[in-house]
Amino acid sequence: MEISDENFRVWAEKNEVYFDGVFRLAGPDAYAPIYSLITGLLHEGHKQVTFDLTGLEFLNSSGINLLAKLTIEARKMGDLLLIVKGTHQHPWQAKSLPNLKKLHPLLELRLA
Partner 1 sequence: MMDGWSSKRPVGLSSFRAKFILVVGGAVLFDLLVSGGLALWNVQRLSRDATLEVGQGLEAASQEYIRTYADSTAAQVNLLLRQVHNDVDTLAGVLQAQIDNPVRNSDVGAAIARTSPDSVSLSYDEKGKWSQNAPGSASVVSVWGYLLGEDHQPKPEIRRDIETSAVLDLVAPSLLQHGASKLQMYYIGPRERPIFRTAPYTDQAQTFDRLYPGHNEADFWNFFFPGLYESWQGWARDMKTRPVADDITQTAPYTDAITGKLIVSFFHPLWTADRKDVAGTAGADITLDQLAQTVENVKVAQSGFGFLAMSDGNVVAINGTGEQTLGLRSASGASGTGVTGLERSLKGSAQPAIAKLALDREQGIQHLLLQRDGNEVPYIVIVKKLPATNLWSSGPVRQEAMLLGVVVPEREIDASLYAAQAKISEATNRIVIYQILAILMSLLIVTIAVFAASKRITSGISALAGAAKRIQAQDYSVRVAITSKDEVGAAGEAFNRMAEQISYHTENLEQLVEERTAQIADQKEEISALNAQLQRENRRLGTEVAVAERIQLMVLPLQQELEEFQDIEIAAYMRPAEEVGGDYYDVLKNGRRLKIGIGDVTGHGLESGVLMLMVQSVARALQEAGNTDAVKFLADLNSALFKNIVRTKIDKHLTLAFLDYDGREMILSGQHEEVVIVRANGEIQRVDTMDLGIPIGLDADISAFIKTREITFEKGDLILLHTDGVTEAANDSGEMFGIERLCSEALRLKGQSAEKVVSGIVATLMHFIGSQKIYDDITLLAVRHR
- Contact pick of 5, 39, 48, 72 for partner 1 (by CB under 8 A): 72
Q: Where are the beta strands (DSSP E) in the chain?
A: 2-4, 8-13, 16-23, 48-59, 81-86, 108-111
- Of 14-22, 23-31, 36-44, 79-87, the segment contacting partner 1 by CB under 8 A is 23-31
Distance CA(63)–CA(93), nearest Å, equals: 12
- Contact pick of 65, 81, 87, 111 for partner 1 (by CB under 8 A): 65
Q: How far is the CB of 31 from partner 1 (least distance, A)?
A: 9
CB distance 57 to 24 below 8 Å: no
- Contact pick of 6, 26, 78, 88 for partner 1 (by CB under 8 A): 26
